[in-house]
Amino acid sequence: MATSYELTMKQRSFNYLYTAAVLLIATCCHDFSSYIPAAAAFSPPHLQTSLLKTRSSSSSFKFQNSFENNHHTARKLHHGSQSSLQLHLLDPTSSLSAATEAIASSISSLFSFTGPIPFLPSLALNTLLFFSLRPKLMTMLTPEGFAHSLALGTMLWTTLGWRGWTVCVLYLFLGQAVTKVGFDEKTKLGIAEGRGGRRGPENVWGSALTGVLCAAAASQGTEFLGISTTVWLLAYVASLATKLADTFASEIGKAYGKTTFLITSLQPVPRGTEGAISLEGTIASIVGGLLLSLYAYLVVGLIPSLEGVAVATLAAFVATMVESLIGATLQEKEGFDWMSNEVVNFFNTLIGAAIAIGLGVFVLGM
């Protein structure tokens, strides 16, 4: 029979979520000590003692604001006394005020419209979001893919904030949706994506590594390697638009392509052949690239103009055609065993980003 101090699984789950929330508040605050009253305002009674011990053990920190100004409290903390701190924690007005300030600081930091976001808050928020959406995400990702996607999401939120993050999330959901189109028919023909369409780590990085590099470059300041931040953002969008265009072309072509041709010879080939193209898939490719580019322009403002939308869409389309050419001439050929789908996807997105950079600099003058 369980004793009274043993926690149920539900209580443990609450404590894990609570700890994550405390860490989120703590890492967002400029003043480390301010998170203690904020946490105490919402703390279950059995955790207040732990908070007191945690705070008293951190006497080596430089106290700021009210703790720094109150020398009497600081001296008591230094000698291990907790009575004054406990009174401070149990003061509802003070605790609520600190909690409100900490939460406001968290929101301001995490949802900044411009500039890099602190890493730890980004990690905490992504962890919370990913585990909240875990049932849905696990229908789209393998367990390893889930972990790597969490790392990817943290990197993107840290470098580009919520705007860049949502572009990648939209790519993931649209790509997964189009993969399921005609899935039963594609399965019968043996041309459906493996693992039921769920993405693994190789898919995550094959699709998004170029985007992460562009995002990191865009976060370096007004320019990086002589290329403006605006162009790096255009390249980021173009890289993901390229992969979405490729996914639309492949999945719609396999599901609805009436006649498929090998891109190098224009000879008819079965659906699903590497390097094959179709009218239906080609149109779908343009639609996929355009959808993501329009979102980046109309909704989150990563692309500054309709000309930028045109550049990203064109780059995605051309890169997708080049990807088909690579598939027809190199993939599955002797000496190119290393040229897997994921490697081809990386080159595909890299080409799309490079085209966008070239057009952005030399045509649009960005």
pLDDT in the model for residue 6 = 43
Q: What is the DSSP letter of 82?
A: -
pLDDT digits (tens, 9 = 90+) for 99-129: 566 666 656 667 765 666 888 888 999 999 9
The three-class DSSP label of residue 301 is coil
> Can you spell out the DSSP letters for 321-360?
HHHHHHHHHTTTSTT-TT--HHHHHHHHHHHHHHHHHHHH
- State how far the alpha carbon of 254 is from the alpha carbons of 36, 232, 280, 285, in Å: 57, 33, 9, 13
Q: Name residues whose C-beta falls within 8 Å of residue 356's C-beta, 6 or more positions apart in sequence.
A: 231, 234, 235, 237, 238, 239, 311, 312, 315
pLDDT digits (tens, 9 = 90+) for 321-362: 999 898 888 877 777 788 888 889 999 999 999 999 999 999
By DSSP bridging, strand 276-278 and strand 260-262 are: antiparallel
Tell me the range of 12-16, 31-35, 171-175, 252-256 where mean pLDDT is highest: 171-175
Average confidence (pLDDT) over 254-265 = 85
Give Dmax over CA atoms of the chain in angstroms: 86
pTM passes above 0.85: no
Contact 245, 312 (CB under 8 A): no
Gyration radius of the chain over CA positions: 26
Contact 150, 50 (CB under 8 A): no
Residue type, 139: T
Average confidence (pLDDT) over 20-46 = 43
> What's the CA gap between 179 and 243, in Å, rounded?
13
pLDDT in the model for residue 314 = 98
Confidence of residue 272 (pLDDT cuts 50, 70, 90): confident
pLDDT in the model for residue 74 = 40
Q: Name residues whose C-beta falls within 8 Å of residue 26's C-beta, 6 or more positions apart in sequence.
A: 32, 35, 39
- The neighbouring-strand residues paired with 156 are none
> What's the CA gap between 297 and 285, in Å, rounded?
19
Closest CA to 283 of 240, 319, 245, 239: 245
> What's the CA gap between 202 and 200, in Å, rounded?
5
Torsion of CA 184, 188, 190, 192, to 10 degrees: 0
> What's the CA gap between 297 and 266, in Å, rounded?
36
How many CB atoms are located within 10 Å of the residue 114 CB?
A: 8
* Separation of first and last alpha carbons in the chain: 70
Contact 202, 152 (CB under 8 A): no
Residue type, 22: V
The residue written with tokens 């023909």 in the block is 189
Average confidence (pLDDT) over 75-89 = 46
pLDDT digits (tens, 9 = 90+) for 128-174: 999 999 998 898 899 999 999 999 999 999 999 999 999 999 999 99
The residue written with tokens 């490729």 in the block is 246
